Structure 1
């Protein structure tokens, strides 16, 4: 039984590592075709929620504890905001840059642990922070730069949006783990979709009254790309839930960072982004730092 659990969890992590950067590719393609990031996220949530209702009739709607609903409300809100920031960042930035930046999620978790849980990092954790900072410098720099590390790199709009997205993602991940423990990965996935759609729908009603028809028309004209996005986001989230259910959050977080390397490759393959070797080296350094923080720190 233990071998089966390990195998399923490992498979889920591997699937997630590939599916997540691939979903970013489709999100970036859609925004380059005038799709609004908020509408993209809302359509994704709505399609996945409807799919759950059609194919998973055994989903529970009653008998879940209050703590589950409280956790899912936080997850729905924070995941929505984080995803909108992410898609906005992908619209204006390079996938091969923004993928590796996600490794900073480990740093956010470390800082939160200091102030909220009084968890003082060890030397390995501090070494991991330094590696992530060094790796991000390699990823964000260009051939013309000759100076040392500069905080000006983090003034770039796409980087600020990606950092905001990962902060929200790091927070919603902790609450999602709690919701999974109180239910099942499938139930948590369904309510992740449902609450996310509810929040984004309200946001659209308030801010996109004059543009939702235009965006709906675009959805049908780009239906293949949208369907590919729905599929990859669904696979990513299901795989994430299965992985979180089968291992500690810290270990899952460390393994998820491996997708930074895939993001660099996809950025080169799909969008002809340059500096592939430099970005791969930087992403590798950041992944190593994330592993040190979450596993040894």
Structure 2
């Protein structure tokens, strides 16, 4: 039984590592075709909700504790903001840069644990932070920008909107992961997944109603015209989130987040393969350093 559980969890982690960067590829392709990031996420949530209702009629609708609903509302709200900010960042920047930046999630988790749980990091944790900072310098360093810093269009990397959006998404998703773990423990991975989709669609629909009332039909038309990419996005987003839930159900949040960071290496490769992004060797080296730092923080820090 224990061996079976370990096998399922390992398969879930491996699937998530591969599928999540592919999900980002489809999100970036849709933004390049002028689909708004908010509409992308709302349509994704909506499609997944319909799929859940069609495929899993045995989903639990009653008998769930009050704590489940409270944590599910919080996690869905944070997840929605995190995902929308992430897609906006992907639309503006390089996948091979934004993927590795996610390793900072381990640093965010450490900061929250210091103030909320009074967990003081050890020396390995501090080494992990230094590795992430060093790796991010390697990933983000643009030699052409360094040679001409006086150009009018030069913007420091940490002031670029895509980096700011990616960091904001990272913070939201780090908080979301903590509440999601509790929701899963109070129900099942599939039940939490369904309500993650349903509540995410509800929150994003309200956001659209408040900000995109004049554009929602044109956005819907764009999504329909790109239905193959949209369906691929729904499939990869659904698989990525479901296997994440399965992994979180049997692993500490920190361990899972550390292993998920391996996907940074795949993000760099996908950035080159699908979008012809440059500096791939340098970014792979930097991403590898950041992954190592994330693992040190969450496993040994």
What's the CA shift for 1:153?
Answer: 2.5
For residue 239 of structure 1, what is the aligned residue in structure 2? Answer: 243
The normalised TM-score by structure 2 is: 0.96
Query: Which runs of 5 or more structure 1 residues have no equivalent in the other structure?
Result: none
For residue 112 of structure 1, what is the aligned residue in structure 2? Answer: 112
Q: Residues 12-51 of structure 1 correspond to what in structure 2 (within 5 A)?
A: 12-51=12-51
What's the CA shift for 1:246?
Answer: 1.5
The separation in 2 between residues aligned to 1:37 and 1:124, in whole angstroms, is 38
SS at match of 2:106: helix
The separation in 2 between residues aligned to 1:3 and 1:77, in whole angstroms, is 35
The separation in 2 between residues aligned to 1:275 and 1:11, in whole angstroms, is 31
The normalised TM-score by structure 1 is: 0.97
For residue 124 of structure 1, what is the aligned residue in structure 2? Answer: 124
Match of 1:283 among 280, 287, 295: 287
For residue 185 of structure 1, what is the aligned residue in structure 2? Answer: 189
For residue 175 of structure 1, what is the aligned residue in structure 2? Answer: 179
The separation in 1 between residues aligned to 2:88 and 2:252, in whole angstroms, is 30
What's the CA shift for 1:104?
Answer: 0.3
The separation in 2 between residues aligned to 1:156 and 1:208, in whole angstroms, is 25
Query: Which runs of 5 or more structure 2 residues have no equivalent in the other structure?
Result: 148-154
How many residues of Structure 1 are paired with residues of Structure 2 in the alignment? 294
Q: Residues 86-165 of structure 1 correspond to what in structure 2 (within 5 A)?
A: 86-144=86-144, 145=146, 152-165=156-169
Please give the root-mean-square deviation of Cα atoms over the aligned residues, in Å. Answer: 1.2
For residue 2 of structure 1, what is the aligned residue in structure 2? Answer: 2
Deviations 1:183-220 (A, max 9, x none): 00000000000000000000111110110010111111
The separation in 1 between residues aligned to 2:134 and 2:158, in whole angstroms, is 13
Q: Which runs of 4+ in 1 moved over 6 A?
A: none
Residue 264 (str. 1) matches residue 289 (str. 2):
no
Match of 1:200 among 201, 204, 209: 204
Deviations 1:111-134 (A, max 9, x none): 111111111000000000000000
